[in-house]
Amino acid sequence: MIDKRHKTLGEFIIENQSSFQYTSGELSKLINALRLGAKVVSHEVNKAGLIDILGAAGETNIQGEHQQKLDVFANEKFIQTLKNREIVCGIASEEEEDFISINSNDEQHQNKYVVLIDPLDGSSNIDVNVSVGTIFSIYRRVTPIGTPVQLEDFLQPGRNQVAAGYIVYGTSTILVYTTGDGVNGFTLNPALGTFYLSHPNLEYPEDGKIYSVNEGNYVHFLQGVKDYIKYCQEEEGNRPYTSRYIGSLVSDFHRNMIKGGIYMYPKSSINENGKLRLLYECNPMAFIAEQANGVATGGRTRIMDIEPTELHQRVPFFCGSKNMVDKLKEFLVKYH
């Protein structure tokens, strides 16, 4: 009997295929494509420290190979692995201005899914050896199967997602995903190239003592956000809270989901819609947060109820432990 703690991602997918609301094998193909991409990118990201030996992006390395920027590399690898699986009819990526249409040549593979991806979020942190990540969001297409994918297949509200997840390339590489039946985390054993179930049934603690926001933007925030930050810093009850901000969404999100906390990227006088992208950052993280008994809001609207209007649109993003987000909302509603 395999110890549950050592279940592989492949075994987990097979065991849980029945709870995935679509035909058998489709989830496996989708997650397997992302799993392969994660392993390839993890290997490359972990080499980044050797960049002065291997040659910086845009130069040729000691083997005379052209060194790609890692976010360009990650984008190409995920697109390639998804295309090869004959289940995806379209891909939207932070690295691509427009969506990519994938037409199946094989009548029987009428590709039903679209994937939206941030192939390497936080890539500016690579040069200083800070964790970065990949974020993905999966929908069923809404236009007729067998026809070219359309923009409306991508501009779906987050509540329509069939799966979402992220990969953190940190002290270890961990893949966390949901298909609407809870959240589970899998850690890569690089020696074997196998992901093992390391974080079953991830859930936010209802309360937390960590707040994550770029306080360098404090002067630009709306009054309600300013007042909430001051609330976090007051000496009262279990406060002051701890301020933790890595500057990499996947890492800040992952820590707060495990320990309890709130992540904020508000709109401000310099970012009128905030910074984070709705379709391939906020929606997938919101799906995971809600599946982990957390909350994700734009301030007045549940993130997953926002009706998208464009592929790369930005929205304000507040996400974390339920009681902390509820308290934030009390401050926001006072002013806005």
Chain positions contacting ligand P6P, by CB under 6 A: 121-122, 124, 214, 247-249, 252, 275-276
Nearest distance, CB of residue 331 and ligand P6P, angstroms: 20
Nearest distance, CB of residue 212 and ligand P6P, angstroms: 8
Residue with structure tokens 């007729």? 144
CB distance 107 to 290 below 8 Å: no
**In the 3-class helix/strand/coil scheme, how is 190-227 assigned residue by residue?**
CCCCEEEEEECCCCCCCCCCEEECCHHHHHHECHHHHH
Asked if the bond preceding 240 is cis, omega within 30° of 0, the reply is: yes
Q: Which of 198/251 has CB closer to ligand P6P?
A: 251
Q: Which of 215/234 has CB closer to ligand P6P?
A: 215
Nearest distance, CB of residue 122 and ligand P6P, angstroms: 4
Nearest distance, CB of residue 155 and ligand P6P, angstroms: 21
**Alpha-carbon span 265 to 277, nearest angstrom:** 11
Six token digits for residue 113 = 């899914």
Q: Which of 92/276 has CB closer to ligand P6P?
A: 276
Q: Which of 73/113 has CB closer to ligand P6P?
A: 73
Q: Which of 125/189 has CB closer to ligand P6P?
A: 125
Count Cα atoms within 13 angstroms, Cβ side, for 265. Answer: 23
The closest of 182, 315, 190 to 257, measured between CA atoms, is: 182
Nearest distance, CB of residue 22 and ligand P6P, angstroms: 30
The closest of 328, 216, 306, 315 to 261, measured between CA atoms, is: 328
